[in-house]
Structure 1
Amino acid sequence: MKASRRHALAKAIQLSLLVALPGFAAAQEAAPAKDATTLDTVQVTGTRIKKAEIESQVPVQTLNREDIERTGLTSIGDVVQELTGAGSALNTKFNSSGNFGFSPNGDGIGAGSAQVDLRHLGPKRVLVLVDGMRWVNESSASGVGAATDLNTIPLAIVERIEILEDGASSLYGSDAIAGVVNIITRRNFDGGQISLNYGQYGKGDGELQGVDLAWGFNTDRANLFLGLSYVDQDPVYSRDRAVSSFPVPGLGVETGSSATPNGRFIFNPPTASTACPLTDVDDDPSTPPVPFCNMTTPNGSSFPNGVRYPQDFIPFTGANRYNFARENMLLTPSKRMGAFGQFRYHFSDNVQGYVKALYNRRESVNQAAPEPIFLGAGAGTGNPWSEQITISRLNPYNPFGFDLTSIGPNANLDTIARRPIEGGPRVFEQQVDTKYIAAGVEGSFDVGDRTYFWDVNVASNRNEADQTNYGSYNVRNINIALGDPALCAATPGCVPLNIFGGPGTITPAMLQWISPVVRDRSEQKLQTFTANFSGDLFNLWAGPLSFAAGYEYRKYEGFYRPDPITVAGYYNGTQSLPTQGEYDVNEAYVELNLPLIKEGAFGKSLDLSLAGRYSDYSTFGGQFTPKYGLRWQVADEFLLRTTYAEGFRAPSIGELFGSASRADLQLSDPCLTSITGAPPTGNRANCAALGVPAGAAQANSQISVQTGGNADLEPETARSFTAGFVYSPAWAAGVPWSDKFDFEVTYYRHSLEGAVQAIDAQTQLNLCVQTLDPLYCGGITRSSIGGISSFENKLTNLGSIKTSGWDIDFFWTLPETSWGQFKINWQNTWVTQYEAVGAAGQIQPRKPGVEVNDSAIPEWTSNATLSWKKNNWNASWTIRHISELTEICQASALDSPYCDNPVTGENKLSAITYHDLQLGYRFELLKGLQITGGVNNVADKDPPVCLSCSLNGYDASTYDIPGGRFFYLRADLRF
């Protein structure tokens, strides 16, 4: 049965939308004759009832292989992220490991992964199935994630992708709050196929190569499919695009890092000098000015024979900052290798068994600028080895002749910031292995004139990830190497460290002492058992009462094991502790489809669906979720449908058991002068009460925030509502200008209570300054000169998230003529509401039309495709539109020429429209050779500049990469 494209009313359509009976997948080609008895009944996503000629009751979108291949993409994640109903999610355009640290969600950053977000409710609220079975959550060696990594599933083995855009916890259990993505694998395949892919960006980088092999056979009783896949994506570097070559576009190094190759030194010396003049460092007029150093050495200068104080030093200004952006990546390299196979055997006409297995390896890399070293009371790292330090006057490289210390009554050191470019960039290499095996038996039997269906399934799924980090530092060894030379001499391997002499003065011997290779590991396992039963119970006045019922058992296990130096607290980078946990769940569900009216004065039919699931979790107990739906077939041409569902999401292992870890977030401190000199925006009296002296400046726009799990978390609960219609007019079917025309409208509303997340860190900081309330200020501490030295931002059950909007879609198939046949698909999503409120009533900054925290909620997204076929030729033109957004310019970006209104601090991200073209030709060679070429982003549109985004000057989850015209060529040979 071939997949269709959401034409719910067309009776000729064969809806092969899976899915809930695990192990049941629709065929790519005609099924064997022996299977005709059982496969004349299909199952629709959003219901577990198998019903002949059933039509969709819920909004489901299907992407078949033709739709997928039309995109020119090679990742499932990239494909689904282009859907109009998709929100912001990780992908390979996020250079995540070295720059974001750990997610504020407490589950780590899935470096190199690709996720899916529906309705802007977050990837962890989307349930991902493969052939109806739950897929294991990601492991990317930086935590125990709550979302699924779609890069663990080769796109080459996919027959189609089905997206249920509705809450479905009553049918599928936890995580299905925002919807369900079900990936159907290829099964009935006769012969072989080899596919070659090649692509490259117009600027000559980002080369992509891939090869896929498929082979299978069908007999009267058996079928086998085997698939191999290889994809190799090269990187694109930030320095090779104008918009991403500086931290904030248009400002050069002014908003770069204060950790420079020449170092930044902030301390109070015993006496004033030309480099350290007398300065009023507090708000007390009764205290005299004191000598104060905020200095560096000239850019690029090096003092291998020793720097002299004060003559070699100059005041530190924005011109001395370091441009860290050039070492980042716009597109991270990713190599994926996968093997998949499934075998089915028909024991009889009504009983069949299957076994399937998958192995996938992902090798990916993130890269960031050389790792900065921050030392002193104002370092803000939360690490005692870096914050409690003494640089001995006896250190052979100390030019000052006195101790620099942040400890005790003689403390005089606030911050030293040095970036050892001698050690090269930070490189994070991930290797993720996914192993999956499943088996089951399914069948049917007749009782009288009724047919009943059953299946029993088991599956085991595991993700294992290793991350190796080169270019980071051991802050304990740095502490020892800067301290008393006698202690260093007594410590095996220690070499005194020179952080004062400028670039090139940290020698290989010094690097060997302070530069470890950091290895982290994580793993997640999911084991499932399911049993399902479906059929008709008895006849009612309007037709048979249909039902489905079943039982499901799942066990989750996961751990994250950081490198021993991280556990010991010696790691200079993002800090974390081990995480380990497990839980299991027993579930039972029942679903009924009750026909209320048969054909008559009130239309063709009216059906009521009822579903309920009870889930018993070992972590928090029981939960019941119901769902109700009405489907009114008013006429052959017109269908009305509506659903109401209650749902929930159980906290994940990382959210429950995740240990304390650090995220480096782009924040603007209201109490401090910005790094570009913009004055503080916070209440001066309140800032003074928080210990911030007048004139204090923010040293770095990235502030370290402590995150972590919470064992007391409760499940999130949700309510979902959809209502809409499908109109397939007869006057537009089989006429000279139209073969078929379908028009679909769906209104959706989701309301989420007790959302598991931390309050937005910028919001917490702003509220602390505005209110001085311990609820917000309790986890924020400051150094003696006002900078933030620690910031706790832990997970909790926040207040609520509410979102609503409209999907409006058109599908038009034109008659075939001498010019060929044309089809037009036009899909649109309007988001009319998104509001997140914290537990204490804090309004979170996300809403429609706003860019915040490297993600956006466009008010309108639209995809339109014109496709054409004539004989052996085919072509398509796809238009992707994203409406305009606004953002708050960070204080560091107010002076940027891209900040539209520095007075209000707002910047507009203009609407953008991408155009993709594709042309193909089929040669009559063997079973067919298809050659396809295409260009994505034909007009070479650059994304709008984002001044608040953490990396690369644009939102990588919403737009194509800058300078992103992408050319590709694909050859498919069937034999």
Structure 2
Amino acid sequence: MTYDITPDIEARIDLLASRSRGESTNNFNYNNGDITVRRDNAYLPANILALMVANNLQTISVGRLNPETGINYNTSKNHYYRLAGGLTGSFLDGWTWDVGANYTYALAENYGEDNRIQANWALALDPVRAPDGRIVCRSTLTNPNNGCQPANIFGEGALSQAVVDYVTGTSFQRAFSRSINVNANVTGELGATWAGPIKVASGVEFRKDSTNQKSDPISDINGWRQGTFASYRGEVKVWEVYGEASLPLARDAAFAESIDLDLAARFVDYSTSGSTDVWKAGLNWAFNRHVRLRSTYSKDFRAPKLDDLFSASSLRAGTTVIDPTTNRTANINTLAGGNPDLKPEVAHTFTAGVVLQPSFAPRLQFSADYFDIELKDAITVPSAQQVVDRCFAGDQTFCAGVTRDASGQITQVQVTSFNTQVLKTRGFDFEGSYSLPLDSFQDTWGGDLTFRVVATYVDRLLTSTGETTVDTAGQLQGGFATPHWRGVGTIMYANGPLNLRALFNYVGSGKYDNNYGPLDISKNDYPAYLYTDLTAQYDVTESTQVYAKVENLFDKDPPLIANGTITIASSSGSNFYDLRGRFFGFGVRYRW
């Protein structure tokens, strides 16, 4: 809602509210070979006991699906409310100002039914015979009132209801987030150069973000098998002051139609990570209306988010990694969480490009831009496999996050956010368009054809931790992976109320992993993909429009790329492909 207080002052207020609920199943509380069965297990079948004795085995490792404990059933609820308001006005000649404030409140709830209590399950898995002949948990012999129920894991349906009740429950998490933002800005012209007025903008802003996550007591000690979110809270306060200016250096000169210098600077102070400055300098040089050069150089900054800093460690089960030391798979737990020692990310970015609109083809526009970015202290959350692989490559930063048991088997991998990476990338962005009136071919033909192409070529994408450097340009999976080439092309036809469009989405060829050779994986190279979408819309009246569309016209299936580890191939192993298949849509739009 807006309201004109005076001809020069406008008030505004915005309210946004949303609620959502999602339900999903996960899987059984399975064990993938990590149950240790001792020789004195009270439920041990005689034939297995005999084999253990014959082979002088005191323990064996067992895997089990555990269908008796049910399938994990997860429910999430989200509530979001935002209230914003402000004033906008003008003063003097050509100056404008605005002040504003907003308040945001969000609540996220997560419940995990039929979750497994890991400590109880560990006790239940060790049944022995008491002196009186009863089968009890070994822990009950020394703590008779601990309530442990001995579990018989041999045979389908062998777990009793008493055991199920003892080892399962419902985990929950309620996360509250609040944000307050107040800002003031002013824009106008501050004098002039020989080439024109100097346009300026400046402002100040204050933000306060806070979060408070409350979880059940078992979650607080990472005690559930899945969906464990421990309680935590945190707060960040930010002050920012900025200024921008556009300085004209030339107008209608012999060597340039126009030259403009754009400058910007910002000072920020975070209660968690201290203060810094960021800035940008850019130059636009138009030789004439057909050729224009542009370039920028900037220092950029991103502070860690609340979750990056304060989120409590959470334990998740069921991740599979390949241990390079043994070349065998291991089923592990992953430990993720915030890192209060995180520092801000700092980047330096250089871009340079040309924009062309040649006189011999006035309907043609083309631009090409080179970019070179170096990001230091990048905040990243590596995958478990990346942690294991880089530890194997000799990076001790990652080795600190790999836990092994007495036999040398990987049992847990820490995937916490950290600052130790440097990212470097460079490449080119291209954009071109051409419009063609059809009556230029035949007077009776109506409408216009428009062709447009946007493409990016990434030459390199380096991730370095000081001891290892990985280039993921041309790679199809992984946190920073991207094909060398990606692009989108469109052909549009417009004739009065009728509009037709064909869209072509190109995903370049690439490798599963640039570091893999023929002895590491059987299929490492994947071809380029091209998807085709068609859209048609027709304006029946000024207020009514009908439309139809088909996406992935040729129903092109995504490639099967290893998902997480090379033990599983699926269509979701990469983010660049369409997983849905051919999709049709029809509809009516009405405006009033």
CA offset digits 1:62-107 (Å, max 9, x no partner): xxxxxxxxxxxxxxxxxxxxxxxxxxxxxxxxxxxxxxxxxxxxxx
The separation in 2 between residues aligned to 1:636 and 1:729, in whole angstroms, is 9
Q: Does 1:418 align with 2:32?
A: no
Instruction: Give the letter aligned to residue 436 of structure 2.
Output: L
Q: CA contact under 8 A between 1:754 and 1:799: conserved in structure 2? A: yes
The structure that is strand-richer by fraction is 2
Alignment of 1:224-373 (within 5 A): 343-373=1-31
Equivalence map 1:39-118=2 (5 Å): none
Q: CA separation in 2, counterparts of 1:726 and 1:714?
A: 38
TM-score between both structures, scaled by the size of structure 1: 0.54
What is the distance in 1 between the residues matched to 2:384 and 2:148?
A: 39
Q: 1:881: how far off?
A: 0.5
Letter in 1 for 2:456: T
Q: State the alpha-carbon separation in 2 of the partners of residues 837 and 903 from structure 1.
A: 22
2:460 matched to 1:460? no
Tell me the distance in 1 between the aligned counterparts of 2:501 and 2:44.
67
Separation of aligned partners in 1, 2:177 and 2:117: 28
- The change in CA–CA distance for 1:626 and 1:650 in structure 2 (over 3 A counts) is same
Q: 1:479 to 1:610 in 2, by over 3 A?
A: same
Cα distance in 1 for partners of 2:320, 2:41 equals 38
Give the gaps of 5 or more residues in structure 1. 1-342, 380-385, 404-409, 675-697, 734-739, 892-899
Amino acid in the other structure paired with 1:932: Y
Alignment of 1:101-180 (within 5 A): none
Aligned to 2:368: 745
Output the amino acid matched with 2:377: G
Question: In structure 1, what residue type is equivalent to 2:388?
Answer: L
| Alignment equivalent of 1:634, drawn from 287, 291, 316 | 287
Give how far 1:718 is off.
0.6
Alpha carbons of structure 1 residues 912 and 851: separation in structure 2 relative to 1, 3 Å: same
TM-score, scaled to structure 2 = 0.87
Q: Distance in 1 between matches of 2:189 and 2:78?
A: 45
Secondary structure of the equivalent of 1:755? strand
Counterpart in the other structure of 2:232 = 579
Amino acid aligned to 1:435:
Y
Cα distance, 1:511–1:402 mapped onto 2, change above 3 Å: same
Asked if residue 789 in structure 1 is aligned to residue 437 in structure 2, the reply is no
Letter in 1 for 2:81: K
What one-letter code is carried by the residue in structure 2 that aligns with 1:791? V
AA in 1 matched with 2:560: V
Alignment of 1:623 onto 2:276 = yes
Displacement of 1:574 in angstroms is: 5.2
Is 1:427 equivalent to 2:55 in the alignment? Answer: no
The 1-side partners of 2:62 and 2:514 are apart by 28
Q: Evaluate the alpha carbon distance shift between residue 401 and residue 658 of structure 1 in structure 2; reply closer, same or farther with a 3 A threshold.
A: farther
Residue number among 517, 534, 557 corresponding to 1:942 in the alignment: 557
Partner of 1:79 in structure 2? none
Residue 710 of structure 1 corresponds to 339
Q: Select between 413-422 and 761-770 the one with higher mean Cα deviation.
A: 761-770
1:878 maps to amino acid: L
The equivalent of 1:862 in structure 2 is 487
Q: Separation in 1 of the partners of 2:41 and 2:352?
A: 76
Cα distance, 1:466 vs structure 2? 1.0
From 501, 512, 524, give the equivalent of 2:155: 501
Q: CA–CA distance in 2 between the matches of 1:786 and 1:802?
A: 35
**Aligned Cα root-mean-square deviation (Å):** 3.1
Alignment correspondent of 1:916: 533
- CA separation in 1, counterparts of 2:310 and 2:427? 35
Distance in 1 (CA, whole Å) between partners of 2:32 and 2:169 is 17
Aligned to 1:843: 469
Q: 1:666 to 1:743 in 2, by over 3 A?
A: farther
Contact 2:474 2:514 in 1 (8 A): no
Give, in angstroms, the shift of residue 583 of structure 1: 1.2
CA distance in 2, matches of 1:495, 1:890: 49
CA distance in 2, matches of 1:768, 1:928: 62
C-alpha contact (below 8 Å) 2:111/2:173 kept by paired residues? yes
Mark the CA change 1:510 to 1:541 in structure 2 (over 3 Å): closer, same or farther.
Answer: same
Assess if the C-alpha contact under 8 Å between 2:28 and 2:69 holds in 1.
Answer: yes
| Distance change (3 Å), C-alpha of 1:413 and 1:855 | farther
The CA deviation string for residues 532-560 of structure 1, in whole angstroms up to 9 with x for no partner, is: 01111112211112211100101111233
Name 1:960's counterpart in structure 2.
578
Q: Pick one of 94, 118, 122 that aligns with 1:451.
A: 94
Question: Which residue of structure 2 aligns with residue 651 of structure 1?
Answer: 304
**Which amino acid counterpart does residue 437 of structure 1 have in structure 2?**
L
Q: Say which SS state the counterpart of residue 499 (structure 2) adopts.
A: strand
* 1:473/1:960 CA distance change after superposition, 3 Å: same
Structure 2 vs 1, CA of residues 636 and 348 (structure 1 numbering), >3 Å: closer, same or farther? farther
Secondary structure at 1:426 match in 2: strand
Q: Secondary structure at the match of 2:576?
A: coil
Other-structure match for 2:53:
none
Give structure 2 stretches of 5+ with no counterpart.
50-55, 128-134, 440-444
Q: Is contact 1:882-1:911 (8 Å) kept?
A: yes
| CA distance 1:411–1:779, shift in 2 (3 Å) | farther
- 2-side partners of 1:778 and 1:949: how far apart? 21
Matched, 1:469 2:112: yes
Q: Which residue of 2 aligns with 1:820?
A: 447
Note the C-alpha offset of 1:570.
2.9
Indicate if the aligned counterparts of 2:37 and 2:62 stay in contact, CA closer than 8 A.
no
Contact map agreement 1:856 1:958 (CA 8 A) in 2 = no
- 1:508-528 residue CA offsets vs partner (Å, 9 max, x unmatched): 554333221222222332211
What is the alpha-carbon distance in structure 2 between the residues aligned to residue 414 and residue 641 of structure 1?
68
Distance 1:574 1:347, change over 3 A: closer
**1:638, CA displacement in angstroms?**
2.5
Q: Is contact 1:828–1:863 with CA below 8 Å preserved after alignment? A: yes
Residues 532 and 806 of structure 1: is their aligned pair in 2 closer, same or farther, counting only changes over 3 Å? Answer: same
Distance in 1, matches of 2:161 and 2:511, equals 47
- Is 1:602 matched with 2:260? no
Aligned-partner SS, 1:714: coil
Q: What CA deviation, in whole Å up to 9, does each residue of 1:888-915 have, x standing for no partner?
A: 4999xxxxxxxx9446655112211101
CA distance in 2, matches of 1:748, 1:666: 37
In structure 1, give the amino acid aligned to 2:562.
L
* Equivalent pair of 1:830/1:860 in contact (CA under 8 Å): yes
The CA deviation at 1:353 is 0.9
With CA pairs under 8 Å and 6+ residues apart, which has the higher RCO, 1 or 2? 1
Could you tell me which residue of structure 1 aligns to residue 459 of structure 2?
A: 832
Q: SS in structure 2 opposite 1:513?
A: helix
Taking structure 1 as reference, are residues 806 and 551 closer, same or farther at Cα in structure 2, changes over 3 Å only?
Answer: same
CA distance in 2, matches of 1:430, 1:355: 30
Query: Partner of 1:933 in structure 2?
Result: 548
| Structure 2 equivalent of residue 279 of structure 1 | none
**For residues 334-366 of structure 1, what are the alpha-carbon distances to aligned partners after superposition, in whole Å with 9 as ceiling and x for unaligned?**
xxxxxxxxx111222221110001112233344
State whether residues 171 and 227 of structure 2, in contact with CA within 8 Å, keep that contact through their aligned partners in structure 1. no
Distance 1:774 1:755 in 2: 18
Partner of 2:132: none
C-alpha separation in 2, matches of 1:828 and 1:451 = 39
TM-aligned CA deviation for residue 612 of structure 1: 0.7
Letter in 2 for 1:671: T
Query: Could you tell me the percent identity over the aligned residues?
Result: 27
Amino acid at match of 2:339: N
Q: Which amino acid aligns with 2:268?
A: S
1:493–1:936 Cα change, 3 Å: farther
Q: Is the 8 A contact 1:414 1:785 kept in 2?
A: no
Counterpart contact for 1:374–1:415, Cα < 8 Å: no
Q: Which residue number corresponds to residue 130 of structure 1?
A: none
